[in-house]
Every structure is written in structure tokens, then in C-alpha cells.
Amino acid sequence: MERSYNDWAAIMAAPFGAVAIRCDADALLALDFVSADITRKPPTNGFAAMVVEQLLCYFDDPAWRFDLPLRADGTAFRRRVWRELQQIPPGRCLTYGAVAARLGSCARAVGGACRHNPIPLVIPCHRVVAADGMGGFAGATAGAPLAVKRWLLTHEGYLSRGLEFEAGEA
């Protein structure tokens, strides 16, 4: 679904482009990766300002732990996956299969939940990788989204440690 500028409560620069924030007065609804050349938008409410502040903390310190109320729309299964993803600490990764095993599901279903994650970064779907490589990100298997995933994993120290993607690492 295409969003308009007015849909976002803030648009901020990020090391890999820009992040647009959708929220109401008391919960984060979505983070959208947008073009780096989009006009920045200062927060339109106090909660959006808090989201911007926490994102800046994360960009400064990859070990930062988000503390934001979330309201992510999704099926019961997707919400289960998203809760599981929030348990993966920065600098660690799990394969889609390892997450699926924890939930009694299958890797493809976990991948679908990751693809539909409305709040990437805070719900860290970038920490889920394929058994044989990086896997997809934000519904893409190539291009700019994978560059963002690679930046995030490097920022968190996973790729910079020179590790390959290890099945089941957590």
C-alpha cells in the first residue's frame, strides 16, 4: 500500500536512507523505509518524538533496547513470530528454520511473518537469516532492502565479527 506524506508522524534520516514513522499518541504502528531524498518531517506528537529519540539511540548504539508500546496489526501467528523475534538480542541471528522450530511451525511461514512485519528494527526481523545466507528483507530478496539488512547486521556486530550465517545461532 502506497503511503502519503501525511500518513507519517515523522520522517527521519537513517544511516541507510530514511525511516518514516506511523504512530498514534501512545503506540508505534509501523516503520517504513523510504527514499533518502524524501523531505524530513519533524515529529507531529510527543510519542513520535520518543520514537525518533529511541531510533537515534539505536543508530548510535546497536545494543540499545527499544522500550516502546507497539500495536502491530497481524494474524495471531504473525504476532507470535514477532514476539519471538523480539527475544533475539542484537548481534545474534537465528535462521528461519530455528525460529520455526521454537514455534512448532515451518520456515516458510516464519518468512511470511517477517515479510509482513510492520515495525522492522523494533521487531528485529533483520536478525532472521536463511540457512545458506542472508535471506530476504522487507519482502525483497535483492536490491536496496538487502543493503539495509546488511547494514543492520554489520551495525549490530554480527557480520563485522566475520561470521557466516550459522543455522540456529542465537
Q: What is the pLDDT of residue 3?
A: 74
CATH class of 76-155: mainly alpha
pLDDT tens track for 99-130: 999 999 999 999 999 999 999 999 999 999 99
pTM, two decimals, is: 0.90
Concerning whether 125 is annotated as a catalytic residue, the answer is: yes
Which one of the listed residues 23, 93, 114, 125 is annotated catalytic? 125
Strands (E), the chain: 10-14, 17-23, 28-34, 94-95, 128-129
pLDDT at 161: 57
pLDDT digits (tens, 9 = 90+) for 37-53: 999 999 999 999 999 99
Positions of CATH 1.10.10.10 in the chain? 76-155
For residue 142, give every residue at least 6 positions away whose Cβ sits within 8 Å of its Cβ, in sequence order, or none. Answer: none
pLDDT for residue 170:
40
Can you list the residues of the chain whose pLDDT is less than 70? 1-2, 160-170
Closest C-alpha to 126, from 167, 80, 166, 89: 89
Q: What is the pLDDT of residue 162?
A: 52
Residue 165 makes CB contacts below 8 A (sequence gap 6+) with 93, 95, 129, 130, 131, 132, 133, 134
